[in-house]
Structure 1
Amino acid sequence: MRLVFSSLMILLLLSPGCKDQSRETPKKAAVPALKKKFPLPNLPKSAFIRKKISQLDVEDYTKIPLNSVLKDLKKARGHEIERAQKVFMAQPEKAVPLLVSLLDNSDNLTRIHAVRLLGDLMPHSKHSLPAVLKRLHEEKITKILSMVIDSLRKMAPHSPALERDLLALLSSPSPLVVWQAAKSLGVFGKKATKSIEGLKKLLTAKENYIRLTAATSLWQISGNLEGFMAIKKDMEDPDRNFRKLFITTLSKLPPEPLVMEFYIRALNDKAIPLRRMAALALKKLGPKAKKTLDTLREAAKHKDYSLRKYSLEAIAAIEKSN
């Protein structure tokens, strides 16, 4: 009897009604699902981030006083100078006279930014040409002088006086100034025939980029590729970036036999990316590049997938007319 009673007590104690409610784990209230307030569009993450960053740039630059950003022109780089440039570009009518007044500023960075902005503000800045020409004769800092020439290339039409000034600068001790002057003379085209002899002397310059610019300007002025014939060896320059610049320049030239010879050399360049560049350029030339077919067929056997692909596409474009 005692055993039966003990068993009943145990059953009662273990029944659900006799559990210690204080020890039960309270059930958590259901948390309602949060609705996405800003659902992500169907864009790659990096593209979405760039889009959001671009949306942050909501300043109205037309309403920012120019004087409030003048101090930022004394900075070489950074957010402040970029913002200042946007303010000046957004208010050309007010900006031009202020920038002209800054051409004589004692701060070098202010002067270089002022002259560059005047070039970028064309045609609004066309009436400031005399002031920029004055700087061409008075500027002593070579970096600023090179920027003056760069802006004049955007602002000034050909004149015998300006051609003489630029021709004289081909003898400057600063390679940067020489390069800018040679480049500007080429932009004048056939009007700058008096500069041909001076440019020819630069074909033996120490700096490879000056030699290439001189050859390009001579072609722009005379219409022939004699300058490029003189710098054929530059296609083998150890500087890969220069060889890349050379190949890029070829796309501006007529598809004459010499240019095709340069492309054939480029297709055999030791740098695979430069070979790809050449193949892509030949694809654009199409039937005009028939002389490069044999070299393209060899390139189409290369282990590099992209080079094979671009070479086959170039071959197809060249043979399309056949």
Structure 2
Amino acid sequence: MRIAVDVMGSDLGPAVVTRGALKALEGFPPDVSMFFVGNASDIEPVVKASPLQSRCSIIPTTQVVGMGEHPVEALKSKPDSSIVKAVGLVKEGKADAIVSAGSTGAQVAASTLMLGLLPGVRRAGLVALIPSLKGRFALIDVGANVSCKPLHLYQYGVMASLFMGALLDIPEPKVGLLSIGEERSKGSALIKDAYAALEASSLNFKGNCEGHEIFHGGIDVVVCDGFVGNVVLKVAEGMAEIMFASLKEAATQTGIIKEPGFQKAAGALKQRFDWKEAGGAQLLGVGGISVIAHGRSDEAATAGAIRIAHKIVAADLNRKIVSALEKTPMHISE
């Protein structure tokens, strides 16, 4: 197995991404190797200092797509950018997966345009793992497609269910449709049509779920359009940061911050709800494994994103998605 890592674009710099990738490589079998794509002068010192350098290849590039650039225009104007070259390795069959902490828009655009969609897939969907009281759930879509049709939401439910089965070994993930009420009559025409499609499917569909319910842990896959999903994701991240900051402030003021019991409990809480523990989001439905790490990913978070890519490739997820979507009912509105 070969994994391409775009080391450019991360907020913390290429060296951090490179070290994180090497940390992940330490735990993989000897037949797993990596391509490090980016500025060679940033990559070489880190790789050459590693005992794993024989399993690493450096692909030098001269351009980077910035966070504020228009994704499609940047891809056209920067053919030697790290994201274009890294996705190109997957397209050419030289790599089995691409992992990047750079521009989400650029990676979604590059993966969709260069790798194409899997047979039967109408729109790619970005799935993220979100912490809950009982573990983690998959939220799809979190930004790839803001103009969904009922068929798109149905396919998101199928793809994310297979994703959770492959990644977390959940045999029959419970699927919920994010809406403004539990009743099937609640929601827009899109939600009502998607509800009917999901209900008639072979998925373990549990009906509509409201925003406050999704964090309780009763649902494994939450389906929504990319606009709603991105808002939910950003609100969840912001609330987690506020919660940790408020907890630290209160503990400092009361003096319990130095107590071993508090430190142990706070550590466990942080491990459960810190976004860094999730690793990365995956773009489902494209003709290759494309994992998007958070722009602020440190070494541990980068390693986590690469472990997700490794596990998804090993599970042959895309083949399972194509097989499952062959059974898509023809009557679902597109």
Instruction: Give the TM-score, by structure 2 length.
Output: 0.28
Decide which structure has the larger Cα Rg and report it: 1
Question: Which structure is richer in relative contact order (CA contacts within 8 A, separation 6 or more)?
Answer: 2
Structure with greater strand share of residues: 2
Q: Give the structure-1-normalised TM-score.
A: 0.29
More helix by share: 1
